[in-house]
Amino acid sequence: MNKYMKLAKEVAQNGMNNNEGGPFGAVITDKEGNIISTGNNKVLKNNDPTAHAEITAIREACSKLKTYDLSNYILYTSCEPCPMCLSAIIWSNIKEIYYACTRQDAAEIGFRDDLIYEYLNGKANNLIKLNHIDRENCIEVFEKYKNENKIIY
C-alpha cells in the first residue's frame, strides 16, 4: 500500500472515530515526498459543510506555505474527490492526485458525491433552483476588474 495513502486512511479513521465527520482523509506532499499537510472531514466538528478532507488539507497546506498556489504538490485522498473538492483541487493548481475509494463507494454509505456529479452533468435537475437576475447591474464590477488588470489566479 502506498505510504501516503496509508496515512490518508489513518487520518480518515481517526476523524471518524472522533465523530468529526465522514470517513475521508487526505494528505498533501511535495514532489520529494515530504508531507506538507493532512486533512480529514470536519463537517460535523466545525459546523462547516465545506470542510471535506481535501479542502481541509488544501487550506492547511496553503496556510503553512503562505500561498494559494499548490502547483508543485501532490494530493492523496482515501476517496475520489467530490465535485466541490475536485474543483478546489483545480483552483489550487494541484495536478497530480491519487485516490482509493470511488464516488460509487461513497454513495453506498449514503453520501451524495455521485448525485452531485450527475447534477453537474445535467442528469439530476431538481437538486437546487438557480435564478438569473440583475446581470446588467453587476457586470460593471467585472469590467472594472478587467480594466484595472487585477491578478487572475
Q: Which residues are the active-site residues?
A: 54
Q: How many whole angstroms separate alpha carbon 91 and alpha carbon 85?
A: 10
Q: How far apart are CA 40 and CA 32, in angstroms?
A: 23
Asked if 58 touches a copy of itself (CB under 8 A), the answer is: yes
Least distance (Å) between residue 65 CB and a copy of itself? 8
- Check residue 104 for interaction with a copy of itself (CB under 8 A): no
- Number of residues near a copy of itself (by CB under 8 A): 84
Q: How far is the CB of 32 from a copy of itself (least distance, A)?
A: 18
Say how far apart CA 146 and CA 151 lie, in whole Å.
9
Interface pick for a copy of itself out of 31, 32, 71, 153 (rule CB under 8 A)? 153
DSSP per-residue codes, 20-33: SSSS-EEEEEETT-
Nearest to 53 by CA among 113, 118, 109: 113
Query: Any contact of residue 90 with a copy of itself (CB under 8 A)?
Result: yes
Residue 68 beta carbon to a copy of itself: minimum distance, rounded to whole angstroms? 5
